[in-house]
Amino acid sequence: MDFTTLYKVHYDRVFQVSFAVIRDRQLAEDIVQETFIKAYKKMDSLQDGDKVGAWLCVIATRTAIDFVRRERKNRGCPMELDVLDCLGKEAVHNVAAEVEVKLLKEILDEKMEDFSKEDKKLLVLKMERGLKEREIANALEMNPATVKSKIHRARRKLKERMAVELSA
């Protein structure tokens, strides 16, 4: 398959992966172009031609993550704060969503470095594992109302830290 055909066949998929990470159409277009440039330069390293789509998606994902990391260092995280509320509530079924969740978890871990062990444990059980307050209370042998209020305070503290980074 020649490179022009490769570009036409895989453009949409590479764009969707890039857009899922970047969340900006113009920047995702830039990531797509950079992805295909990198792919063109490394075509000789591709061993299995049947997996070219997956290979391109990996390149796009890594390129997009690199971009997000550079931007985060320069001016803050482009992730939506709403993502905090849904983290852990539904299964991740595609590469782009997995990458976004992984990147967000890295950011959250960084923001929770000085949280108490209890607050970290409560947030992990709630957000990553998707447990209900009552389930957490039973597992940790705590009062459900206490669990609910502690989770609420820890989430609010985390959201405030994320908002400060976004506004910086």
Element (H, E) at 4: helix 3-22
Please give the pLDDT value at position 74: 63
Model confidence over 79-135: pLDDT tens digits?
Answer: 555 455 555 544 445 566 667 667 777 777 777 888 888 888 888 888 777 888 888
* Domains 3-75 and 82-167 equal at CATH topology level: no
Secondary structure of residue 168 in the 3-state scheme:
coil
User: 22: which 2 tokens?
Assistant: 């970047």
- Mean pLDDT of the residues in the chain: 80
CATH number for the region 82-167 comes to 1.10.10.10
Closest CA to 31 of 13, 14, 48: 14
pLDDT of 27 higher than 60: yes
More confident residue, 11 or 165: 11
The CATH code of domain 3-75 reads 1.10.1740.10
Rg of the chain in Å (alpha carbons): 20
What type of residue sits at position 20?
Answer: A
- Please tell me the pTM assigned to this model: 0.45
- Segment among 2-16, 66-80, 89-103, 142-156 with least mean pLDDT: 89-103
Percentage of residues in the chain having pLDDT higher than 70: 79
| Domain spans of the chain, in order of start | 3-75, 82-167
Q: Does pLDDT of 7 surpass 60?
A: yes
Burial (CB count within 10 angstroms: exposed 0-12, middle 13-18, buried 19+), residue 155: middle
